[in-house]
């Protein structure tokens, strides 16, 4: 044997100076002292080089694990069928099921399963319903352009089923609203009101009007219409209530909370509404209410970030644990590169890590895609923290252009 192992050397590194002669390791005593010291510093150097780059050090492999322990519960859909549904309606059912799962659980794996279905389904067998679903999938994955094109094509299909056309138009109106294309959104909402009049079309219009300078009247008229409408149509009711909440929040009216809570009673797994309410409460300093509202939703990034902020502000004993979890999630997401949750990442950077520049980068990237009030507010706050006046000026000029005012934007409060 000509080698001394690193382990031996390390042992000596800790004790050599004290008892060089009595060192129990025969290999080391055989080396002269100068050599030994040299060897240690070299080993230390090699070790340092290895550690300094350990960016993505994984958790250790656990070789001993309990047979009885339940490691995970498999969602029933995880047993994904290898066989493609045979008919277009069956395929649509399955794809829609995946989309609803993804939405209600905040679980993007289902979006992947849905995409697998579409990739294997021949293009010439695509139906209008399938195309709407595919557009919805694309929108969920922030592929806004293909989604817009497909929805436009569906609307312009001759002799299309009225209900499908309305659905496509509503989806498109929403897409345009989210992206801040209010003119186009308004025109689709208007068309929807002609084709499919009711609370949903009215909500669609009210939302666009609220974001373009007429929040007060939009709120009043939608509220009146909602009260007149039959409560039996819970889908329309839920939708109108969600819209009312959003406009109330824009106006800074306390009714917002009440509307959101009504929505959550009707649809507890509406994660979007839950996040809106949590954000509202957080802004009001009601940290305990946020913690309660997000109790069983740590697995969903948007809610987990709001929860972590509330915990931090409340000096909650669990705050560090949740922040560490989020840090791990986001570092994995950064490695993956396709950042679906830039908004959450920006919020985390701004309010947990206090890294204004990182927050601004992600908030700005997010704002290129999505311009809902919470996106806009986040960007303004990040720009303010980072001391970036030009971004703030750009956003304000965009808001002025659309006459958009929102009680949640920072300049209103200051």
Partner 1 sequence: MMAALLRLTSVFTALLVFALPVWAHKASDSFIYVDQTKSQIRIDLALRDLALVLPLDSNGDGQLTGAEVRTGREAITRLVDQGVTLSNTSGICQLTGRQWGLSRHSDGPYAAGLYQVACPDSLAPESLKYSLLFEQDPLHRALVSVTDSQGERLSVLAPDDQTLTLINSATTLGNSLKLFGTFLSEGIIHLLIGLDHILFLLVLMLPATLPLKTRRSGKHSGRGHDLKPRLLELVGVVTAFTVAHSFTLALAALEIVTLPIAWVETVIALSIAVAALNVFWPILGRKTWKLAFGFGLIHGFGFASVLGNLTSGVSQTVVALAGFNLGVELGQLVLLVVLFPLLYLCGRFRIYERAAVPAMLLMAGALSLYWVAERATAI
In the window 246-305, what residues touch partner 1 (CB under 8 A)?
267, 269-270, 272-273, 296, 298-301, 304
Looking at residues 367 to 406 of the shown chain, list those that interact with partner 1 (rule: CB under 8 A): 372
CB of 254 to partner 1, least distance (A): 23
CA distance 339 to 141: 10
Looking at residues 166 to 205 of the shown chain, list those that interact with partner 1 (rule: CB under 8 A): 167, 170-171, 174, 178, 200, 204
Which C-beta is closer to partner 1: that of 57 or that of 414? 57
13 lies in the site for partner 1, by CB under 8 A:
no
Looking at residues 305 to 344 of the shown chain, list those that interact with partner 1 (rule: CB under 8 A): 325, 328-329, 332-333, 335-338, 340
232 lies in the site for partner 1, by CB under 8 A:
no
- 134, 327 Cβ separation under 8 angstroms: no
CA distance 87 to 65: 44
366 lies in the site for partner 1, by CB under 8 A:
no
CA distance 373 to 398: 12
- 111, 148 Cβ separation under 8 angstroms: no
70 lies in the site for partner 1, by CB under 8 A:
yes
Torsion of CA 43, 44, 48, 49, to 10 degrees: -30
CB of 411 to partner 1, least distance (A): 25
- 309, 352 Cβ separation under 8 angstroms: yes
CB of 215 to partner 1, least distance (A): 19
CB of 96 to partner 1, least distance (A): 6
CB of 76 to partner 1, least distance (A): 6
Taking only Cα atoms into account, the Rg of the chain, rounded to an integer number of angstroms, comes to 28
Stretch that binds partner 1, among 92-100, 249-257, 387-395, 397-405 (CB under 8 A): 92-100
Looking at residues 130 to 169 of the shown chain, list those that interact with partner 1 (rule: CB under 8 A): 136, 139-141, 167
CB of 393 to partner 1, least distance (A): 27
Indicate the DSSP class of residue 23. Answer: -
CB burial readout 350-386, b (16+ within 10 A) else e: bbbeebbebbbbbbbebbeebbbbbbbbbbbbbbbbb
Torsion of CA 401, 406, 409, 414, to 10 degrees: 100
Looking at residues 26 to 55 of the shown chain, list those that interact with partner 1 (rule: CB under 8 A): 26-27, 29-32, 34-35, 38-39, 42-43, 46, 49-50, 52-55
Interface residue with partner 1, options 18, 48, 67, 414 (CB under 8 A):
67
Within 10 Å of residue 286's Cβ, how many Cβ atoms? 17
């Amino acid at each position: 044997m000509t080698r001394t192992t690193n382990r031996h050397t390390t042992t000596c590194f800790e004790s050599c100076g004290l008892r060089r002669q009595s060192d129990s390791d025969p290999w080391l005593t055989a080396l002269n002292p100068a050599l030994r010291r040299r060897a240690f510093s070299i080993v230390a150097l090699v070790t340092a080089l290895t550690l300094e780059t350990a960016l993505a050090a994984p958790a250790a492999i656990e070789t001993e694990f309990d047979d009885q322990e339940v490691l995970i519960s498999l969602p029933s859909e995880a047993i994904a069928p290898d066989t493609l549904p045979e008919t277009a309606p069956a395929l649509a059912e399955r794809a829609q099921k995946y989309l609803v799962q993804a939405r209600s659980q905040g679980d993007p794996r289902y979006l992947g399963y849905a995409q697998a279905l579409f990739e294997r389904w021949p293009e010439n067998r695509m139906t209008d319903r399938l195309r709407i679903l595919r557009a919805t999938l694309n929108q969920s994955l922030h592929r806004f352009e293909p989604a817009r094109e497909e929805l436009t094509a569906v609307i312009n299909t001759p002799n299309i089923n009225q209900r499908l056309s309305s659905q496509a138009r509503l989806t498109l109106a929403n897409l345009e609203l989210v992206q801040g294309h209010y003119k186009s959104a308004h025109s689709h909402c208007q068309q929807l009101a002609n084709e499919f009049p009711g609370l949903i079309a009215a909500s669609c219009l009210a939302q666009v009007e609220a974001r373009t300078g007429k929040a007060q009247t939009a709120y009043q008229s939608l509220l009146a219409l909602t009260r007149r409408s039959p409560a039996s149509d819970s889908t329309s009711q839920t939708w109108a209530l969600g819209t009312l909440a959003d406009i109330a929040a824009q106006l800074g009216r306390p009714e917002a909370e009440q509307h959101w809570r009504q929505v959550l009673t009707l649809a507890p797994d509406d994660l979007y509404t839950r996040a809106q309410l949590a954000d509202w409460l957080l802004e009001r300093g009601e940290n305990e209410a946020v913690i309660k509202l997000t109790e069983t939703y740590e697995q969903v990034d948007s809610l987990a970030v709001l929860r972590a902020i509330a915990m931090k502000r409340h000096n909650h004993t669990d705050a560090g644990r949740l922040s560490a979890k989020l840090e791990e999630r986001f570092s994995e997401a950064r490695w993956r590169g396709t950042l679906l949750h830039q908004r959450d990442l920006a919020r985390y950077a701004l309010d947990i890590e206090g890294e204004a520049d990182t927050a601004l980068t992600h908030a700005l990237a997010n704002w290129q895609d999505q311009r809902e009030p919470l996106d806009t507010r986040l960007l303004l706050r990040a720009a303010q923290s980072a001391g970036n006046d030009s971004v703030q000026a750009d956003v304000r000029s965009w808001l002025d252009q659309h006459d958009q005012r929102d009680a949640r934007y920072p300049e209103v409060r200051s």
